[in-house]
Structure 1
Amino acid sequence: MGEQGCMKCGSTEAGTKDVSMTGSGLSKMLDVQNNKFTVVYCKNCGYSEFYNTQASKGSNIFDLFFG
């Protein structure tokens, strides 16, 4: 098992924020539920990754972020 931490700076301090994004055209009206994401960000350097909220429910999102 390798080192765990931010892939940019190695820090293990991270936070999360839930966000919604809109697509364009019809997807703006039809796809609202599919455009919810959780952002995991490094509190040290600010590097962040987006995870689809539905896809990440079964996993520990910090495990995904830190590898």
Structure 2
Amino acid sequence: MSERGCIKCGSTDAEENHVSMTGSGLSNILDVQNHQFTLVYCKNCGYSEFYNKEAAEEGNVFDYFFGN
């Protein structure tokens, strides 16, 4: 499987990070960060995509990011 690269610039230099965010309603008011995501971003142009952490654990997020 070959990597096609970032959909914006074609670079294959990407990294991932994990972030938590609040939802809406009461969790937002109380600042409860109950939504977890994996962030994959291109180190060349900065293009970023968020993946639900549970779904991201099932597969390689880099495959999703690069469109493989």
TM-score bin (small chain) = 0.7 to 0.9
Is the contact between residue 9 and residue 45 of structure 2 (CA under 8 Å) also seen in structure 1?
Answer: yes
**1:19 alignment partner AA:** V
Dislocated runs of 4+, deviation >4 Å: none
Unaligned runs of 5+ in 1: none
> Which string of whole-angstrom CA distances, capped at 9 and with x for unpartnered residues, describes residues 14-53 of structure 1?
0011000001213x16871xx1001000000000000000
TM-score normalised per structure 2? 0.83
Distance (Å, rounded) in 1 between the aligned partners of 2:33 and 2:22: 8
Measured on the aligned residues, the alpha-carbon RMSD in Å equals: 2.1
TM-score (norm 1): 0.84
Deviation at 1:66, TM superposition (A): 0.2
- Give the count of matched residue pairs: 64
Q: How many percent of aligned residue pairs carry the same amino acid?
A: 62
Task: Note if contact 2:17-2:39 (Cα within 8 Å) is conserved in structure 1.
Answer: yes
Distance 1:54 1:3 in 2: 23
**Tell me, which stretches of 5 or more residues in structure 2 are unaligned?**
none
More helix by share: 1
1:56 positional shift: 1.3
